[in-house]
């Protein structure tokens, strides 16, 4: 952005909000926000505590496991729906229902079925991420150009070769789905642990709120946000590298 011809980089906007936050905190304008400096100090405190290291490990493990399941199941579901019309007609409705459903309401069910531990969190991550991955993979498969499929047929490609062509040309959509799944998965891993509340960051949140540690609470939230944003950024970069050949298609 240019102000009177002088280039102002984007991080200035973030700096502005940090300053606003600090002011709001210092003068106690909003109870929700302790001074930003206090939060920054608390970050050091939180990161070095052993319970945080445990929580981080658990969160990472549950997140990756759930996401891995979601990617595998989601892409398979999407392929199935994209290639078999009957499967599409049967499943499409449910995928759309789960996409717009308040999934948090399902966590209590997951809790009683899978117990108050890691499996529940893994399943929650899975439930949050899988539907959008399936839907985008389906769209990708359905948008593979007919002439490309006919080309493969006319040059005598085998079944597996044709499937490979379909998968590769659906890759941009599949990756877009995974990116959204990655973001939704982070929400899943947080909501799962919040509701289970006796493990991982859920336990930390309860600890901090029981002891009125506002700074620590915000520190943990900022760490989670940073984690989510860097993941989204990372997968966005990956996506751009795939887009160079997708550009020829659109």
Partner 1 sequence: MTKTDTVPSAIAGGVTGGAMTRFAQMPVFWRLLSLALFFGAWELAGQSNFNAAFPTFTETFAAFVEMVLDGSMGAAYLRTIEPLIVGLAFSLGVGVAAGVAMGLRRDVEFLTLPIFITMQAAPMAALIPLITFVYGVGLASKVLAVVFLAMPVITINSYKAVRNVPGSLLDMTRSFMGSRWQQITRIILPAASPMMFAGIRLGVAEGFSGVVLAELLITPTGIGDLITYHRSVANFGHMYATIVSIVAFAVIAVSLLYHLETKLFRPEKRGQ
Q: Which residues are near partner 1 by CB under 8 A? A: 1, 3, 8, 10, 13-14, 16-17, 31-32, 85, 89-94, 97, 99-109, 112-113, 183, 186-187, 189-191, 194-195, 201, 205-206, 209, 212, 214, 217-218, 220-221, 224-225, 228-229, 232
Largest CA distance in the chain: 74
Q: How far is the CB of 160 from partner 1 (least distance, A)?
A: 26
- The conformational region for residue 226 under phi > 0 = left, psi -120 to 50 = alpha, else beta, is alpha
Dihedral pair phi/psi, residue 213, rounded to 5°: -95, 75
User: Nearer to partner 1 by C-beta: 71 or 217?
Assistant: 217
Rg (CA), the chain: 22
User: Nearer to partner 1 by C-beta: 99 or 161?
Assistant: 99
Q: How far is the CB of 157 from partner 1 (least distance, A)?
A: 24
Helix pair 118-142, 85-100: axis angle to 10 deg: 130
User: Nearer to partner 1 by C-beta: 156 or 209?
Assistant: 209
Q: How far is the CB of 161 from partner 1 (least distance, A)?
A: 25
Q: How far is the CB of 241 from partner 1 (least distance, A)?
A: 20
Q: How far is the CB of 30 from partner 1 (least distance, A)?
A: 9
The angle formed by the CA atoms of residues 210, 213 and 217, to the nearest 5 degrees, is 95
User: Nearer to partner 1 by C-beta: 161 or 240?
Assistant: 240
Task: Give the span between the Cα atoms of 178 and 158, in whole angstroms.
Answer: 28
Whether residue 138 contacts residue 82, with contact meaning beta carbons closer than 8 Å, is answered with yes
């Amino acid at each position: 952005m240019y102000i009177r011809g002088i280039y102002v980089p984007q991080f200035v906007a973030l700096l502005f909000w940090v300053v606003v936050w600090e002011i709001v905190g210092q003068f106690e304008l909003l109870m929700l926000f302790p001074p930003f400096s206090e939060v920054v100090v608390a970050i050091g405190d939180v990161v070095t505590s052993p319970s945080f290291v445990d929580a981080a490990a658990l969160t990472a493990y549950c997140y990756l496991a759930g996401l891995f399941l979601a990617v595998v199941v989601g892409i398979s579901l999407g392929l199935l729906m994209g290639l078999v019309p009957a499967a599409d007609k049967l499943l499409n409705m449910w995928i759309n229902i789960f996409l717009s459903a308040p999934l948090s309401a399902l966590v209590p069910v997951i809790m009683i079925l899978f117990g108050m531990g890691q499996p529940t969190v893994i399943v929650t991550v899975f439930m949050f991420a899988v539907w959008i991955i399936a839907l985008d993979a389906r769209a990708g498969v359905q948008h593979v150009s007919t002439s490309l499929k006919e080309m493969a047929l006319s040059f005598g490609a085998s079944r597996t070769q044709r499937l490979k062509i379909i998968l590769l040309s659906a890759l941009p959509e599949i990756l877009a789905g995974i990116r959204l799944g990655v973001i939704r998965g982070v929400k899943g891993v947080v909501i799962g642990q919040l509701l289970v509340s006796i493990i991982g960051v859920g336990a930390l949140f309860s600890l901090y709120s029981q002891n009125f540690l506002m700074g620590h609470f915000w520190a943990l939230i900022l760490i989670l946000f940073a984690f989510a944003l860097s993941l989204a950024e990372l997968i966005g970069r990956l996506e751009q590298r795939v887009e160079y050949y997708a550009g020829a298609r659109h």
